[in-house]
């Protein structure tokens, strides 16, 4: 989950898509944002570096399983972030180990999961690159903000560039609307602009819903807290669409 912009619904999509994927497979959700919002979406808060992703990035001998929070939701384990991740990343950047750090940290865990969902912060900086370097596929989102279309275009260029550098082989599997306001024209205009870019626009549009901010307070993504709602159905459909786009299930 990646975008050059913040506040566009990335963490909400990551949490709900992870919960949706966990209905049919074992999922690890990984927070690669020092603002630690993905963990908070499930009510998980790390106390410091030692019980969060930073510990694994900093010291390759730390037992990854000991840092993972098990069964935070049905079928779903979570590797939380903590603000100290910022300092760990700065340190690793200085020694040259940052780009491959997330990939190295997750390697011992991969055999236990069918899907790993990584959430990143709203930039295309070095920590985001470390997450992309660990990923097979990248999903991005747009909203009614025209800047979010530009964000998707920039992300596509960023991936292209880092594939050239052989920092990653991840491909952009989809661009989805994370906050679709049926009444407003703006999101429609942004979708129209994106359709002309040739980027892989997904058909699922997550509706604007008051249930989403409430779910953060309730510490349960809507897929879990309001499973029969329209917005939960949209996240489940998005997860299905991503599985098809990544080739994990046939169309």
Ligand X SMILES: Nc1ncnc2c1ncn2[C@@H]1O[C@H](COP(=O)(O)OP(=O)(O)O)[C@@H](O)[C@H]1O
Q: Which residues bind Mg ion (CB under 5 A)?
A: 10-11, 37
For residue 165, give every residue at least 6 positions away whose Cβ sits within 8 Å of its Cβ, in sequence order, or none: none
Q: How far does CA 51 lie from the centroid of its chain?
A: 20
Q: Is residue 206 part of the contact set for ligand X (CB under 6 A)?
A: yes
Q: Which does 212 bind (CB under 5 to 8 A by kind): Mg ion, ligand X, none?
A: ligand X
Q: Which does 204 bind (CB under 5 to 8 A by kind): Mg ion, ligand X, none?
A: none
Binding string to ligand X for residues 17 to 56, with x set by CB under 6 A, is what?
--------------------x-------------------
**Measured between alpha carbons, how far is 199 from 173 in angstroms, rounded to an integer?**
9
Stretch of 8-16, 74-82, 107-115, 243-251 lying at the interface with ligand X (CB under 6 A): 8-16
Min. distance of Cβ 122 from ligand X in angstroms? 5
Q: Is residue 213 part of the contact set for ligand X (CB under 6 A)?
A: yes
Site for ligand X in 159-178 (CB under 6 A): 178
Count the alpha carbons within 13 Å of 107 in the hemisphere toward its beta carbon: 10
What does the DSSP assignment read for 64-95?
A: HHHHSEEEEETTEEEE---TTHHHHHHHHHHH
Q: Is residue 10 part of the contact set for ligand X (CB under 6 A)?
A: yes
Nearest to 10 by CA among 21, 18, 2, 19: 2
Supply angle C-alpha 171, 191, 30, rounded to 5: 40
Q: Which residue, 58 or 144, is less far from ligand X as judged by CB?
A: 144
Footprint of ligand X (CB under 6 A): 6-12, 37, 122, 178-179, 206, 208-209, 212-213, 216
């Amino acid at each position: 989950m990646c975008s050059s912009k913040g506040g566009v619904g990335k963490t909400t999509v990551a949490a709900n898509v992870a919960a949706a994927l966990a209905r049919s497979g074992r999922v690890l959700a990984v927070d690669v944002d020092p603002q630690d919002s993905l963990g908070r979406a499930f009510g998980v808060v790390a106390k410091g570096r030692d019980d969060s992703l930073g510990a694994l990035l900093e010291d390759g001998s730390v037992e990854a399983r000991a840092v993972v929070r098990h069964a935070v939701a049905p079928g779903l384990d979570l590797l939380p972030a903590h603000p100290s991740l910022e300092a760990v990343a700065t340190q690793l950047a200085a020694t040259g180990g940052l780009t491959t750090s997330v990939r190295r940290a997750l390697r011992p865990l991969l055999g236990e999961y069918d899907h790993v969902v990584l959430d990143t912060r709203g930039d295309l900086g070095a920590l985001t690159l470390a997450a992309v370097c660990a990923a097979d596929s990248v999903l991005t989102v747009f909203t009614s903000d025209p800047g979010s279309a530009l964000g998707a275009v920039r992300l596509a260029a960023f991936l292209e560039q880092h594939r050239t550098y052989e920092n990653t082989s991840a491909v952009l599997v989809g661009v989805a609307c994370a906050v679709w306001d049926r009444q407003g024209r703006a999101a429609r205009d942004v979708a129209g602009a994106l359709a002309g870019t040739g980027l892989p626009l997904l058909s699922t549009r997550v509706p604007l819903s008051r249930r989403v901010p409430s779910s953060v307070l309730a510490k349960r993504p809507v897929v879990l807290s309001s499973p029969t709602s329209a917005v939960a159905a949209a996240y489940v459909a998005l997860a299905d669409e991503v599985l098809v786009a990544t080739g994990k299930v046939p169309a």
